[in-house]
A and B are shown apart, each in its own frame.
Chain A
Amino acid sequence: MTTVSSASPGLSKDVGGVQGNRLYGPLPDVQGEAGYEEDHPARVGFFTDTSVCIGCKACEVACKEWNTLPMDDSHGVQNQMGLSGMSYDNTGQLGANSWRHVAFVEQSRSVDLPMPTFGRPGDDRTDTGLAANPVSPDADSVLNAQTNVLNAEALSQFDPQTGQSGADKQIRWLMSSDVCKHCTHAGCLDVCPTGALFRTEFGTVVVQGDICNGCGYCVPACPYGVIDKREDDGRVFKCTMCYDRLTDGLQPACATACPTQSIQFGDLDELQARADARLATLKGQGVETARLYGRDEADGVGGVGAFFLLLDEPEVYGFPPDPIVTTRDLPAMWKAAATGAAMIVGVVASAFVGRRRK
């Protein structure tokens, strides 16, 4: 037996004395918790900045090439070719054969020129507290100038899809390269009964193909819907963050291929600092909808190793808005199951007590 445990750190006794268990919450040293010696490498990760993603899918191709993933259609059916029919996205989802997936979301918005409109449903729905109309006396002059430029552009455009004049409508594309999050508290890792899933020295989560027996428990355990079973093979597959490349000092294939640095690979600490700076820049430029997703270590999965800068709500990109690792509630479940089991024994025992009817 090695000292490296495939078990979750969840049931290790808390050293800091803050929590009784560590099934969720921040975990400063995930590798240390998994049993690695103190001199393990730093935790690495991806920072995917969707604001500079151009939807080229180089990451998808590089990943398929490097990891020799089979072809699949937009529903993950292997060796099938099929267009999704919904956008430029024909990959559709993450799965056993697609470890990077570029989402394409086309959005429109009304431009409140020349006449401002009032009372439309949704106009007052902003999570930033700003009015829907970006041109407001409260906004700073640079923002107003930028918005006016965009509105001027919009005025000269014509949108053939709706048949409306472009004067009152603007279109934007959101593109985002999704990947396994390599969670601090990984549901897949917690529930794996064989130890096939394990925490690497880099803090990532990897499936050992020679151990996995295809029980499939990790598939519904992932709150992001990342890992899946390859039906003809019987085992599960997901992003390894190119574990083989990392051990040789290389960057993952997707990050290497990304032409816009939308996918940034590095030490997680450094990426987090970089992301915070990038967010501040975007906010300063008036991109009020920019936000980091998975960055916060106090979230339901203890923060993730692959986090994102998004320009809209997470669910618009297909992310769960508030994921929680399922094992957070496991102590309550075991308690209920133990009570239930005791009830069975108690009920049966009491049924045998008493007068025997003939």
Chain B
Amino acid sequence: MSAPGSNGPTGNEPAGEAPLTPGAGWHRAAGEDLTNPRRRKRRKGGGGGGWGSGRREAAMVPDAEFSSYYGRQIVKTPTWKNPEVPVYFFLGGAAGTSSVIGALAEFTGRPTLARNAEYVAGAAALGSVVLLIDDLGRPERFLHMLRVFKVTSPLSVGSYILSPFSAFTSAAAGVRLLELKPVMGVAAKVLPFLPKLAGAFPFLRKASAVGAAAFGGPMATYTAVLIANTATPSWHEAHAELPYVFAGSAMAAGGGLTAALTPVAENGPARKVALTGVALELAAIQKVEHGHGLLSEPYHEGKAGTLLRAAKKATVSGAAVTALAGRWRAGSVVGGILLAAGSVMTRMGIFEAGIASTKDPKYVVVPQRERLQKRQAAAESTGDPHEANSVTR
């Protein structure tokens, strides 16, 4: 079979092979493809007819026509733990924004806001580390994350963001704790030299806060690259917008949480951050949910749709409460909690949408088939058909 000596057009084939060669004289079962009727039986509302007219005019086309291997998924579903990983995205965002708020509050005479932001950042960063390690299949090997540095791996870059970030934020929060008398009393029993360092505490705290703030922004947005840089159709397609969604959602969460914890006299900046974040998030997620045709569909359906609708309600009402009643403590608290809840549900909804887009092969086949046809059409118009069909030929 291999490397036949003669590959002339006809007549030179080994005797008896030609009629028996699979495919000889056969065409693809046009309109009669058995894989589709089967699929229709097993899945409600499956595509009809043959493959080929895999067209999708607009978003929310319910049944795109395409072929698949018995309706099985093509790309693998992420094995990341749910809801641990989306909650990690939320905590990373909240911590990232809080750390920047904390550092600026330190130097603008807002001690309560600085304290609360540093506590939020420290706690959320430590929570992030725990969740990330817990998600590993081999948690005892978490230090392997720092074995190499690869710009092509958002998780590698993220490890080099999270490590210093969590160190700085927990240092700032830790110094804050040591400034409390009872904590210092207990700590001094273990480490007797600590009280002697007390004079350096403000400097250590401020330095740590500045260090944390330097990594705060990247900490909040790298997680969007983490999920977008996959073959998961609905995540990858939205790769240009997800970082902005995550940045906006992070500001809403970090601003909201610190505003909720801080008296209104000092929490003004946190409220402003939260409101700007909401505006950014809502603007960016618009394209994610509506701009990608078939691949926007998973953001509306099932669990993802429910979560994202709830997220939008929480975010919008949280923003409204913060904007209208944020100058009263109760308004700040309610608004902040709603904003944080909206942020966590946004991350969970986006996560679920990606999961859903891996489970149906249409999200892989239809857009890719369309891309292929577009390329072929473009190449045909330039008169070079061989350039076009780059996958099969």
Cα separation A357 to B28 with both chains bound (whole Å): 73
Please indicate the chain B residues that have their CB under 8 angstroms from the CB of A32 in the complex: none
> Across the two chains, which residue of chain A brings its CB closest to B235?
A220
User: Are A358 and B24 in touch, CB under 8 angstroms?
Assistant: no
B351 to chain A, nearest CB (A): 11
Given contacts A284-B7, A316-B67, A340-B243, contact A109 B30 (CB under 8 A): yes
User: Are B224 and A337 in touch, CB under 8 angstroms?
Assistant: yes
Please indicate the chain B residues that have their CB under 8 angstroms from the CB of A298 in the complex: 387, 390
A300 to chain B, nearest CB (A): 7
Among A211, A224, A226, A330, which residue has its beta carbon within 8 angstroms of that of B229?
A330
Which residues of A from 274 to 320 have beta carbons under 8 Å from B?
274, 277-278, 280-296, 298-300, 310-320
Given contacts A340-B221, A344-B217, contact A213 B138 (CB under 8 A): yes
Given contacts A215-B135, A223-B75, A277-B4, contact A344 B69 (CB under 8 A): no
Q: Does B382 contact A (CB under 8 A)?
A: no
Which residues of B from 68 to 103 have beta carbons under 8 Å from A?
68-70, 72-80, 96-97, 100-101
Please indicate the chain B residues that have their CB under 8 angstroms from the CB of A264 in the complex: 2
Among A63-71, A146-154, A243-251, the stretch that binds chain B is A146-154
Given contacts A260-B1, A299-B390, A352-B108, contact A121 B31 (CB under 8 A): yes
Given contacts A7-B152, A146-B19, A321-B372, contact A214 B104 (CB under 8 A): no
Cα separation A272 to B302 with both chains bound (whole Å): 45
1/0 per residue, CB under 8 A from B, across A200-217: the answer is: 000000000001111111
Given contacts A281-B13, A340-B244, contact A313 B51 (CB under 8 A): yes
Interface residues on A, range: 35 or more
Q: Does A11 contact B (CB under 8 A)?
A: yes
1/0 per residue, CB under 8 A from B, across A164-204: the answer is: 00000010111000000000000100111111100000000
Q: Does A80 contact B (CB under 8 A)?
A: no
Given contacts A134-B25, A274-B3, contact A106 B230 (CB under 8 A): no
> Across the two chains, which residue of chain B brings its CB closest to A133?
B27
User: Are A351 and B269 in touch, CB under 8 angstroms?
Assistant: yes
Binding site for A on B (CB under 8 A): 1-4, 6-13, 17-19, 21-35, 38, 49-53, 66-70, 72-80, 96-97, 100-101, 104-105, 108, 135-139, 141-142, 144-145, 147-148, 150-156, 158-159, 213, 216-218, 220-222, 224-226, 228-232, 235-236, 239-244, 246-247, 250-251, 265, 268-270, 272-273, 276-277, 280, 327, 354, 358, 361, 364-365, 368-369, 371-372, 387, 389-393
Q: Using A216-B78, A219-B76, A340-B247 as known contacts, list a sample of 7 further A-B pairs with CB atoms less than 8 Å apart, ordered by residue number in A.
A: A132-B30, A150-B26, A286-B24, A289-B28, A316-B33, A326-B229, A332-B239
